[in-house]
Structures are given as structure tokens and as C-alpha cells.
Amino acid sequence: MVRYTVVIPAAGKGKRMGADENKLMLTLQGKPIIVWTVEAFSKDAWCERIVLAVRPEEQGWFERQLYHLETPITYVTGGEERQQSVRAGLQVVDPNGIVLIHDGARPFVRIDQLHAIAEAAETEGAILAVPVKDTVKQVTAGQIKQTVPREALWLAQTPQAFPAADIRAVHNQAERSGFIGTDDASLFEWAGKKVTVLTGDYHNIKMTTPEDLLFGEAILTKEDYQ
């Protein structure tokens, strides 16, 4: 058993969702997205603590929605950008342990995936990812420049897992250097550290656009997500 803490950035505004509120407050089958997500970790005996980076004016709402969970939840103030929120969360994590970083808008991660990635992170960074299925085109000014071989292309997911001291040091280094990564693994790569890829699950989608809400509702009709 590998005990871990999970940091979940939850201070975003969800512009691509086109909502007037934090997209994590939107519902799937009547339950807010963030509740589905946090419950996935609270059901895992390996998860010791959940750290949520939120906007101060929304913290009360999150507390009311998540009060029923037994896993300890620590709230920190998130930033304008995801990277800032993750960094804020890392400051309260035990540096001697393993930390998972997970998108609040990915409610369908499975416990077996959490265990696999936590074990992999005992020695280096690790992420979940899935192979690209579609043909990929590189396009410039509306014209195809080339067809990119997809055999080596993977779509990164979360959670992404790291030795806590290492990822916190990398985030602090990136902050000092003004480097903004596309995800936490990209910061690890930028710092010259190794990241292992574990095969994820195509159901582990991120609620980003209104269409994703429809996909999420469909996933929840599957018996193993009840």
C-alpha cells in the first residue's frame, strides 16, 4: 500500500464550458462534478488527504458539498492559473510522501489506476495517458502541412503522480523562472526529470465543453459507475 495525498486545483472559471459559474459546480445526474471527483479519492483507502485549491468566495460552497466525506480535506487559495493553484496546494503537502495531482473536472478515474500510478511515483514521475486513436494533421493557416505519425502520440490525463519533494521543488523553480507548463509532467520534463507513462482509460475524460457533459451522463449509465 502506497499512501498518498491528492492535490485538486478547483479555482478555474471554465471558459470553454460557457457557464456563468465554476464548471465544477455543474452537475452530472444531479450531483456536482467536483463531488463525483472527490468521492473517487475518498473511496480509496490509500488516499490520506485531499487538498483543494479554490477561490475564497467559493470555499463555503465546496465545504457544504463535501462535508459528508471522511477523508480529511484541506482548502488553500487557488491562483488565476492552474499551475499557481497546484503550487499553492503543494505547499501544504508532506514532502516525504507521494502526491497525486488531479483535474477537478475528471470524475471517472478508477481506484486501480490510482494505485498503479501511486506505486510508480515512489521513484519518479508518472502519468496516465491513452494512445491517440484519430489521424493527426499539422495545420497552418487552414492548410495541412503534414500528417503526423500517431504511433508515438499519447493524450495525457490525470492524475499525475510524483515524489512530493521533487514536484514541489520543480514548481518553485518554474515560478522563479517564469516557466508555464501545459501540465505538471511538462514541468518535470523541463527540469530534466523522468516521467513514466501508464495506460489510462478512455472513460477518464475531462469535463471541458458542453458536449462533455453529455458524454459524462452516458458514462454514468454504465453499471460499474453506479
**Structural domains for the chain:** 4-225 (3.90.550.10)
159: preceding bond cis by omega (within 30 degrees): yes
> Looking at this protein, which amino acid is placed at residue 2?
V
- pLDDT confidence bin for 223, thresholds 50/70/90: low
Q: Which of 41, 94, 89, 31 is nearest to 69 (CA)?
A: 41
pLDDT at 176 over 80: yes
The reported pLDDT for the residue numbered 114 is 97
pLDDT at 226 over 60: no
Q: Which three cell numbers stand for residue 162?
A: 510524483
| Model-wide pTM > 0.85 | yes
Q: Which of 68, 90, 164 is nearest to 124 (CA)?
A: 164
The reported pLDDT for the residue numbered 21 is 74
The reported pLDDT for the residue numbered 18 is 53
